Structure 1
Amino acid sequence: MHLVPAERAGLRTIDGHRVCDAIAAVGEPDHVRTWADRFSLLADPGRLALLLALHGAGPLAVSDLAVATGMKDTAVSQALRLLRTAGIVEGAKDGRIVRYRVVDERTSELLKHCAR
């Protein structure tokens, strides 16, 4: 049980080798937090719909995303702000229009599974 932290070393285990495998699978707390944050962004149906639309259709403007998802423009803008801050989407200006696209590869991989 070489991976068990000192503060948990005295606790009773059934399969010590599996406990070490489980600790290795969980990994660093910062890594777990990063994925938990990503999943919390995807847990909102509106944000997930926006991401699926962007993943499936490519770069889209706020008004087009609103029509595609049935959301209001303001709700789309707020959701995109959160997704942009998290580094999941990025906007590219084309004149007065900003078109958004998914830029985070890990999120793109998750969306591939959601779209099936």
Structure 2
Amino acid sequence: MRLQNLRCRAAARTDLHALYTHLAATGDAEPSAYIEALLLTLAQAPGGHGLKLFRPGATETSFDERWLLSLIAALRRGDDASASFLLQSRIGRQDRRPVAFLANRVARHLDIV
């Protein structure tokens, strides 16, 4: 995720709703597409504070990294109450659905937790 985040930071700004709609319609895209879309959505969400991920190889984890990994872990174990709490604690109402969809896809496709 840290490597993908570096790529996202270098990329041009993206129309998040178009990206979400495209990924939702395609069904099963490459796992990296879901990671990229999730990171872009979290970084560009209106009213958001951005997303702080450390560089690859860093020994520490940021609050944002721990939050994101907790969300993915909750989704992987089917803990909807924890996932909902985590989403509501950091994500505005208008962005919860796309973030939940993308995080679900990441949790389903990747063995990162």
What is the TM-score with the length of structure 2 in the denominator? 0.32
Instruction: Write 1 or 2 for the structure with the bigger share of strand.
Output: 1
Length-normalised TM-score, structure 1? 0.32
Where relative contact order (Cα < 8 A, 6+ residues apart) is larger, the structure is: 2
CA radius of gyration, larger in: 1
Return the structure number with greater helix share: 2
